[in-house]
Every structure is written in C-alpha cells, then in structure tokens.
Amino acid sequence: MPKISREELIKLQKLLVSDVAIAKHLGVSQPYVHHIRKIYGIPSRFAENAQRNNEIAALYLSGMKASDIAKRFGLRPGRVYQITGDAGARKEKTRKKVFSENHEQIIQLYGKGIPGTAIANEFGISFNSVYKIIRAARAEKQTAAVLAYPTP
C-alpha cells in the first residue's frame, strides 16, 4: 500500500520535481516513488523532454563534450550519456588500427623473441592486438600447411 496519496505526490512533484528528491524527502527509494507514480498514472515531469533530448543528441554528435552539455542543461554527464545512448547518438571511438603492412613486422619481431608488450609499445597498440595478429598468423600457417598436402 502506498505511503502517500495521489494528491500529495502531485504536490511533491511540483515542489521537488524529481523522483530522487521526492524519495529523499519521504525517506524511501527512488524506484518506490517511480512505482507509486506509475500506479497513480502520474507522468514524469521529464516525460516531455523529447526536444531537449534531441538537442542534446545533436550537440553530442557535433563533437561537444558530455560534461559541457551537462553543464548547459543542468544534468550530470552520466545522464547525457544515457540520453545520447537512448537516441542512438553514439560517437565511434577512435582506435588505432594496425595496418596489414605492419602485421609482417609484428610477426618477425615476435619470431625474434621480442615480448608482445614491447612490440605493442613500439606500434602504439595493445598487447592483445599483437597476440591476435600472432594467433591469426599461426592459424593461417596451419591452414596453408593443410592445403599444401593433398588428401589421398
């Protein structure tokens, strides 16, 4: 049974705005306030923020930092990431790609006994990438050896 009436919840929502603030005021959890609000059919104060969310997503995609967007809209950066994620506005992470011409050098260095971490540092990649290249080379070598010997 809810600890608060519909009318009281509406008054608190006008006064405190967010479910988190209401929960702190009542000494209950935010999910509880959300649940009660849904039971009473009271929409969130933020339900009509579609235009704001679209603007946030556009700013994020244009290159603005989440922390700057958060300051501009009075949000936290984590909330900006949630909004951009919900809108499908994710930036692609820039990752260093190891070009195929470097694969041969990496394999040769590894064959000389140089540790994978040293190779990774030299090429500016992770050691996991180095070992991925080595594993792929070994698999390719094994496949080539199998293909070289015809089956009877």
Percent of the chain with pLDDT over 90: 4
For range 76-85, the mean pLDDT = 84
Confidence of residue 13 (pLDDT cuts 50, 70, 90): confident
Q: Rounded to two decimals, what is the model's pTM?
A: 0.39
Residue 151 is predicted with a pLDDT of 53
**Per-residue pLDDT at 150 exceeds 80:** no
Residue 107 is predicted with a pLDDT of 86
Residue pair 124/95 in contact (Cβ under 8 Å)? The answer is no
For range 3-23, the mean pLDDT = 87
pLDDT per position as a tens digit, 87-119: 777 766 655 554 566 888 888 888 898 898 898
Residue 134 is predicted with a pLDDT of 86
Average pLDDT, the chain: 81
Confidence of residue 68 (pLDDT cuts 50, 70, 90): very high
**Per-residue pLDDT at 29 exceeds 80:** yes
